[in-house]
């Protein structure tokens, strides 16, 4: 994998801020975009900025054709059996809410989650518990914050309707054994929804191989545009689900008192869609295909091992989750005694243009449970380099040295 060649595709990495280049280690929040994705977005606005699925003129037909091409590309990337199993959404959050509000939950239905869920996979179930009386069961992680199969099997029962779990945690980078979990869930008659926002950009996520019922992902974390995501769902399940958001393009015909709905995915894609976003997402998965997901994952772990070795013995520093970097992908969440995580992030940004995340990372529930304010978080991707990691280690070391811990 030629990282230097890859970096040339990202315009922002060619810029300097205050005379220094950008070191972008905030990829778990949002990735940068290559010019191939930017060009594809612009192609829509420059060449055929019209409505798809409606108008019969040349521009309208072209948009419809490009939507079909984009959906097919995304479906192929994720191993869907057919393009119609891909529903375009704004992001992972909307995709999870779609399942929560369309699957027909009723009082007493059980939804099983982990103790490390992003708010996107926590709050929808809290809302259903309040509005419809569903029951929520949370399976606890092991001592090192990795998934506990023992705890999961104890929590699993024939009463569970849906197992909804984060595939790769944005908190500490650990990944659950999805295939084994799905097998056990299915044996108990439960469906499985994976929050794949953090796994889709970094790991091989194949719907057919996993036999997963649903998963949600966001384009903005995998080189694609903001405001663009997907819900994958097995077609027979999508067919039987009630639309969540309704209106234009979801129906074949209406009267003043009734509506005849389209088939999936159209019945879930209400209103005028983000056509440029669809095209940009398709360009993003093509870019990832060209580089190779396995190459990306290997590169991230190599960098994270180097980063971890460089900071793990710094006085007063603690890493959240397993200390083995290979179990955390490209993520390292950490705290330094006596420092607010936001202070760490601001100093790294001001001193060396190192962009990291700080705070609760939308996993407030876990931090509250552990009586922690949050953490600083470094997250790596395909365009990051060993030299950038060295600069990160050097500057973090200076902070610790200044504190005299």
Are 139 and 239 members of one domain?
Answer: yes
Helix axes 386-403, 341-352, angle to 10 degrees: 120
Q: What is the mean pLDDT of residues 133-157?
A: 97
Query: Residue 309 and residue 325: Cα distance in Å, rounded?
Result: 9
pTM above 0.95, yes or no: yes
Q: Are residues 156 and 168 in the same domain?
A: yes
Model confidence at 324, pLDDT cuts 50, 70, 90, reads very high
Percent of the residues in the chain that have a pLDDT greater than 90, as a whole number: 97
Regarding whether 138 and 118 lie in a shared domain, the answer is: yes
The answer to whether residue 404 scores a pLDDT higher than 80 is no
Residue 162 lies in a domain: yes
Same domain, 233 and 182: yes
Q: What is the CATH number of the domain that holds 349?
A: 3.90.1150.10
> Mean pLDDT across the stretch 29-33?
98
Predicted confidence at residue 405, as pLDDT, reads: 58
Shared domain check, 374 and 254: no
79 with 217, same domain: the answer is yes
Domain interval for residue 259: 48-290
- pLDDT interval class at 53 (50, 70, 90): confident
Residue 191, H or E segment: strand 191-195
Catalytic amino acids? 362
Mean pLDDT of the chain: 97
Residue % of the chain over a pLDDT of 70: 100
CATH number of the domain within which 269 lies: 3.40.640.10
Which pLDDT score is estimated for 54? 83
Domain C-terminal end among 290, 324, 343: 290
30, part of any domain: no
Q: Within this chain, do residues 260 and 346 fall inside the same structural domain, yes or no?
A: no
- Final residue of a structural domain among 225, 260, 290: 290
The answer to whether position 105 is within a domain reads yes
- Tell which of 253, 270, 290 closes a domain: 290
Residue 196 has pLDDT above 80, yes or no: yes
Give yes or no: residues 200 and 325 share one domain.
no
Q: Are 343 and 353 in a shared domain?
A: yes
Q: Average pLDDT of 30-57?
A: 96
Same domain, 333 and 245: no
> Quick one: pLDDT band at residue 89, thresholds 50, 70, 90?
very high
CB burial of 194-204 (b: ≥16 within 10 Å; e: otherwise) equals bbbbbbbbbbe
> Based on the structure, what is the number of domains in the chain?
2
Say yes or no: 119 and 231 in one domain.
yes
Residues 274 and 296 grouped into a single domain: no
User: pLDDT tens digits, residue range 227-279?
Assistant: 999 999 999 999 999 999 999 999 999 999 999 999 999 999 999 999 999 99
Closest CA to 198 of 119, 138, 118: 118
């Amino acid at each position: 994998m030629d990282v230097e060649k890859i970096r040339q595709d990202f315009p922002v990495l060619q810029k300097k801020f205050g005379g220094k280049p950008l070191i972008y280690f905030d990829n778990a929040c949002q990735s940068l975009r290559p010019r191939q994705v930017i060009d594809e977005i612009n192609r829509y606005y420059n060449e055929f900025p019209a409505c798809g699925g409606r108008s019969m003129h040349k521009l309208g037909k072209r948009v419809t054709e490009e939507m079909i091409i984009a959906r097919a590309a995304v479906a192929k990337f994720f191993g869907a059996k057919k393009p119609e199993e891909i529903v375009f959404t704004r992001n992972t959050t909307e995709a999870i809410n779609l399942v929560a509000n369309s699957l027909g939950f009723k009082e007493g239905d059980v939804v099983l989650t982990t103790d490390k869920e992003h708010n996107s996979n926590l709050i929808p179930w809290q809302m259903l518990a309040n509005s419809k009386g569903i029951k929520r069961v949370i399976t606890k992680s092991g001592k090192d914050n990795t998934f506990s199969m023992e705890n999961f099997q104890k929590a699993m029962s024939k009463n569970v309707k849906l197992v909804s779990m984060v595939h790769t945690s944005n908190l500490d980078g650990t990944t659950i054994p999805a295939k084994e979990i799905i097998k056990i869930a299915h044996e108990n008659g439960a469906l499985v929804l994976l929050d794949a926002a953090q796994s889709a950009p970094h790991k091989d996520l194949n719907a057919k191989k996993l036999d997963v019922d649903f998963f949600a992902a966001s384009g903005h974390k995998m080189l694609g545009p903001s405001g663009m995501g997907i819900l994958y769902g097995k077609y027979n399940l999508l067919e039987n689900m009630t639309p969540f958001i309704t209106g234009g393009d979801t129906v074949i015909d209406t009267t003043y008192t009734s509506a005849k709905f389209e088939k999936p995915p159209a019945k879930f894609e209400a209103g005028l869609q983000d056509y440029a976003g669809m095209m940009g997402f398709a360009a993003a998965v093509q870019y990832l295909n060209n580089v190779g997901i396995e190459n990306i994952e290997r590169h991230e772990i190599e960098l994270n091992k180097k980063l971890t070795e460089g900071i793990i013995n710094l006085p007063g520093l603690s890493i959240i989750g397993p200390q083995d970097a290979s179990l955390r992908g490209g993520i390292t969440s950490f705290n330094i005694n006596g420092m607010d995580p936001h202070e760490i992030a601001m100093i790294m940004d001001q001193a060396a243009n190192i962009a990291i995340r700080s705070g609760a990372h939308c996993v407030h529930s876990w931090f509250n449970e552990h009586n922690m304010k949050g953490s600083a978080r470094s997250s790596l991707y395909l365009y990051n380099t060993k030299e950038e990691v060295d600069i990160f280690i050097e500057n973090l070391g200076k902070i610790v040295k200044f504190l005299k811990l």
